[in-house]
């Protein structure tokens, strides 16, 4: 069997290639003849104008060196997807450190780097703004504030038995994908451009190349093979590097490749949005949450990027997994002179979950009611209406919470923690549970659509083309399973092709945890069409009714019994009879709508529910800490591939713990990134994750709103990592009963400051 079409047992050979290091990413592809390497020249400071670029020394280095600036762009010098505020190459002014001011090309990468270092960039610096609240005070907002409200918040606070308020800081987060930003562009006959890009959004790249080169979309083909990770960092921001490569290819007529070094990638690209937030929460005497109010100051960076959509999800998830009587939440998109912040797994949801959990921790401290009592009492229930108007459907927050508490033996666990703390003078333990209700759909309604193209070849092999980009999350494996199941095939006959705008047009990004939902359903519809044609043909050939026939394990059945025809014969006979063996499938998520004018609607197809518990231990002398154990109960629907889903839960949880406890993104007041190496930016590693992790899938009816009863998996489990912050905080407060503080990540330095009486 050809290994390109999978193994007989159904395992994808790419998993072995990944483990052995044989997978080829953009920078591993065979270099075409005449290839030029591109190196960007970054801006010298965070903000300035009167930009001047002197490339004479670089051009004198070698006759093969080429240098391009904004003046060389044949089309529009603009790649902003929401606002026209992001030039491909800075022209006249610059707004963040790392903004591209020139592009250097040379046939050798080392030569290109030497030449880039010789380009002289000058101009007049202007004072930068790096803090979101300062930008807000100056009135520098991308859009007017956005507010969602429900109920009478003022009355809730008037009637409250307990109130708490506070300030919450949540830092950014670096994607640290395995493969840095990269693209390879080729100029082809007829003024066409072909780009192989490490992107989650091929159509966004296609749009950017079309716009900057001044050519039609149809003249641009974008391919995305298997990415070395994305996590949202290649949804919008891959466009810059692909467009630069395409610009070089169009102007020189030669292939051009750009591949950032790790430190360049860290310095020049955006990360998860930092937020600074204020909250107020009102409780009744029994712990019922009467009202919640929050203001979110989003540090959007220098350009719009995807900030509006990210802030929108923050507002949607402002109340987390809780039922709140009255809500008023407002978001501000604050423009600063930092690289434009962008999509990151969770897409604004984690920032919201952290604020509501902080509010509950503060309310617990103010009222004396245990946090878990407040949490359980206020969990969403079936039929509850969320503050933006959507009704909770198949709501399982109470189910997952109770299963987790029972599995963990939580009352006994809490008693054991208190006993441990009483018996240990220099070590303290703490625990926290975070419940999750995470909405699944793009919050921009038109993006909830997908197409797929499926071909059945005359030997019975099948190729599926979809808009889904494989970046390590297993979406190709899931689509393969969908195609096998839909056509009734045994493993080994199906392959999923690399994503290409030439095969599937008008693609939506592989993001928002929708890759399998949208593209799997589109592939299913294409397969159903092909299968219907085959069964109609077979019915005529066998003198049967089509409804009597079926395909299972690559065998044609009649009334559940073999007909003597297998899949290959069925395909061969149908082709001989001129039956079309290709089909295009299309899917648009039904039932979702939202009206921003009144801030009401049902923007999500469904919610994913779950609960995560973390137990942590703090060394009071060193202020160091470790995770003792973790337990998760997750509502995953009828999984398309349980092993893939488990990997996603584990990975997302690790990433959430990293954001909560380790990954401190620091910028200087001048806008310079201080944590610009993997020696200064700390990530979860094997030793950090060395603790027992129990994951239990909720055994419940399948999800009627997604392919084969499944549920999205990518983003929701990241929220469980937030429990790590509060578990450490719980341990710290067992040693010092000061008011809780909410400054994420909980670094060792912040823990030490708290223990010694300061406030981070």
Q: Among 735, 753, 756, 731, which Cα is nearest to 743's?
A: 753
Structure tokens at 324: 């709140």
Q: Please, is 460 exposed, middle or buried when counting C-beta atoms within 10 Å of its C-beta (0-12, 13-18, 19+)?
A: middle
Q: Please, is 541 exposed, middle or buried when counting C-beta atoms within 10 Å of its C-beta (0-12, 13-18, 19+)?
A: middle
Question: CA-to-CA distance for 368 and 285, rounded, in angstroms?
Answer: 10
Q: Is the peptide bond before 745 cis (omega within 30 degrees of 0)?
A: yes
Cα angle 343, 345, 349; round to 5: 90
Sequence-ordered list of residues with C-beta below 8 angstroms from that of 405, at least 6 positions apart, any chain: 433
Question: CA-to-CA distance for 167 and 169, rounded, in angstroms?
Answer: 7
| Cβ-contact 413, 419 below 8 angstroms | no
Question: CA-to-CA distance for 57 and 279, rounded, in angstroms?
Answer: 55
Q: How many CA atoms lie within 13 A of 277 on its CB side?
A: 37
Question: DSSP string covering 93-134, please?
Answer: EE-STT-EEEEEEESSHHHHHHHHHH-EEEEEE------HHH
| Cβ-contact 301, 266 below 8 angstroms | no
Sequence-ordered list of residues with C-beta below 8 angstroms from that of 751, at least 6 positions apart, any chain: 618, 623, 624, 625, 728, 732
Which strands, in side-by-side order, build the sheet including 549-552? 549-552, 555-558, 561-566
Q: How many residues does the chain have?
A: 760
Q: Which residues lie across from 465 on neighbouring strands?
A: 453
* 696 is annotated as an active-site residue: no
Question: CA-to-CA distance for 307 and 348, rounded, in angstroms?
Answer: 9
Q: Which of 372, 382, 715, 749 is catalytic?
A: 715
Burial 702-713 (b: 16+ CB within 10 A, else e): ebebbbbebbbb
Strands 162-170 and 275-283: antiparallel
Structure tokens at 212: 């900057």
Residue located via tokens 């509502």? 635
Question: CA-to-CA distance for 220 and 196, rounded, in angstroms?
Answer: 11
Please give the helix or strand (H or E) that residue 397 lies within, else none. Answer: helix 397-408
In this structure, which long-range contacts are made by residues 52-57, counting pairs with CB atoms below 8 Å and at least 24 apart in sequence? 52/121, 52/122, 52/123, 53/101, 53/102, 53/119, 53/120, 53/121, 54/119, 54/120, 54/121, 54/122, 55/102, 55/104, 55/119, 55/120, 57/118, 57/119, 57/120
Q: Among 446, 388, 360, 395, which Cα is nearest to 164's?
A: 360
Question: CA-to-CA distance for 536 and 675, rounded, in angstroms?
Answer: 63
Question: DSSP string covering 275-342, please?
Answer: EEEEEEEEE-TTS-EEEEEEEEEEEEESS-TTHHHHHHHHHHTTTTTB--SEEEEEEEEEE-SSPPP-
Please give the helix or strand (H or E) that residue 526 lies within, else none. Answer: helix 515-542
Strands 582-588 and 561-566: unpaired
Q: Please, is 126 exposed, middle or buried when counting C-beta atoms within 10 Å of its C-beta (0-12, 13-18, 19+)?
A: middle
Catalytic residues: 715
């Amino acid at each position: 069997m050809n290994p390109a079409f999978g193994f007989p047992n159904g395992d994808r050979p790419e998993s072995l290639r990944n483990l052995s290091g044989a997978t080829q990413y953009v920078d591993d592809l065979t270099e075409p003849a005449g290839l030029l390497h591109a190196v960007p020249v970054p801006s010298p400071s965070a903000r300035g104008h009167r930009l001047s670029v002197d490339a004479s020394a670089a051009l004198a280095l070698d006759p093969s060196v080429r240098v391009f600036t904004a003046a060389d762009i044949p089309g529009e010098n603009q790649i902003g997807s929401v606002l026209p505020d992001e030039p491909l190459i800075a022209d006249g002014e610059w707004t963040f450190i790392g903004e591209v001011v020139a592009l250097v090309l040379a046939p050798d990468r080392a030569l290109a780097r030497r030449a880039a270092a010789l380009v002289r960039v000058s101009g007049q610096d202007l004072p930068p703004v790096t803090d979101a609240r300062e930008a807000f005070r100056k009135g520098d907002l991308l859009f007017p504030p956005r507010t969602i409200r429900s109920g009478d918040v003022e009355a809730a606070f008037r009637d409250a038995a307990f109130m708490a308020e506070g300030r919450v800081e949540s830092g950014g987060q670096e994607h640290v994908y395995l493969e840095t930003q990269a693209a390879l562009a080729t100029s082809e006959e007829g003024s066409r451009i072909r780009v192989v890009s490490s992107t989650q959004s091929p159509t966004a790249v296609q749009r950017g190349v079309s716009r900057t080169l001044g050519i039609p979309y149809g003249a641009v083909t974008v391919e995305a093979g298997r990415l070395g990770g994305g996590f949202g960092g290649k949804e919008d921001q891959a466009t810059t590097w692909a467009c630069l490569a395409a610009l070089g290819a169009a102007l020189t007529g030669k292939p051009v490749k750009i591949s950032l070094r790790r430190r360049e990638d860290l310095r020049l690209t955006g990360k998860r949005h930092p937020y600074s937030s204020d909250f107020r929460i009102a409780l009744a005497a029994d712990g019922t949450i009467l009202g919640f109010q929050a203001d979110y100051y989003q540090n959007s960076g220098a350009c719009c990027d995807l900030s509006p959509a990210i802030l929108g999800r923050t507002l949607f998830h402002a109340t987390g997994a809780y039922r709140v009587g009255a809500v008023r939440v407002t978001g501000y998109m604050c423009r600063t002179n930092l690289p434009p912040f962008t999509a990151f797994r969770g897409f604004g949801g984690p920032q919201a979950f952290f604020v509501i959990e902080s509010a509950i921790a503060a309310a617990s401290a103010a009222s004396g009611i245990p946090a878990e009592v407040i949490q359980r009492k206020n969990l969403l229930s079936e039929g509850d209406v969320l503050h933006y108007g959507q009704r909770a459907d198949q709501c399982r927050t109470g189910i997952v919470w109770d299963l987790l508490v029972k599995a963990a033996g939580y009352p006994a666990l809490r008693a054991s923690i208190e006993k441990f703390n009483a018996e240990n003078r220099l070590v303290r333990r703490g625990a926290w549970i975070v419940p999750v209700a995470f909405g699944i759909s793009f919050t921009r309604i038109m993006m909830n659509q997908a197409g797929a193209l499926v071909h059945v070849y005359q030997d019975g092999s099948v190729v599926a083309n979809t808009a889904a980009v494989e970046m390590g999350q297993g979406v190709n494996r899931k689509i393969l399973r969908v195609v096998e199941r839909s056509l009734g095939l045994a493993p080994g006959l199906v392959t999923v092709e690399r994503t290409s705008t030439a095969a599937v047009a008008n693609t939506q990004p592989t993001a928002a945890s929708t890759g399998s939902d949208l593209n799997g359903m589109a592939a299913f519809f294409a397969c159903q069409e092909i299968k219907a044609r085959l069964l109609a043909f077979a019915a005529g050939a066998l003198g049967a009714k089509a409804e009597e026939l079926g395909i299972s394990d690559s065998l044609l059945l009649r009334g559940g019994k073999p007909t003597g025809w297998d899949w290959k014969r069925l395909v061969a006979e149908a082709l001989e009879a001129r039956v079309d063996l290709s089909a295009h499938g299309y899917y648009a998520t039904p039932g979702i709508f939202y009206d921003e004018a009144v801030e009401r609607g049902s923007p999500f197809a469904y919610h994913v529910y779950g609960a995560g518990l973390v137990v942590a231990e703090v060394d009071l002398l060193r202020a160091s800490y470790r995770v003792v154990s973790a337990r998760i109960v997750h509502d995953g629907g009828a999984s398309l591939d349980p092993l893939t889903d488990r990997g996603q839960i584990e990975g997302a949880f690790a990433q959430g713990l990293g954001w909560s406890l380790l990954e401190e993104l620091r910028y200087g007041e001048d806008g310079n990134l201080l944590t610009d190496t993997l020696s200064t930016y700390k990530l979860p590693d094997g030793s950090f994750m060395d603790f027992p992790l129990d994951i239990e899938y909720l055994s419940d009816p399948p999800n009627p709103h997604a392919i084969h009863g499944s549920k999205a998996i990518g983003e929701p489990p990241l929220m469980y990592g937030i429990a790590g912050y509060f578990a450490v905080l719980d341990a710290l407060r067992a040693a010092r009963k000061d008011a809780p503080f909410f400054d994420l990540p909980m670094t060792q330095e912040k823990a030490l400051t708290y223990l010694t009486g300061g406030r981070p």
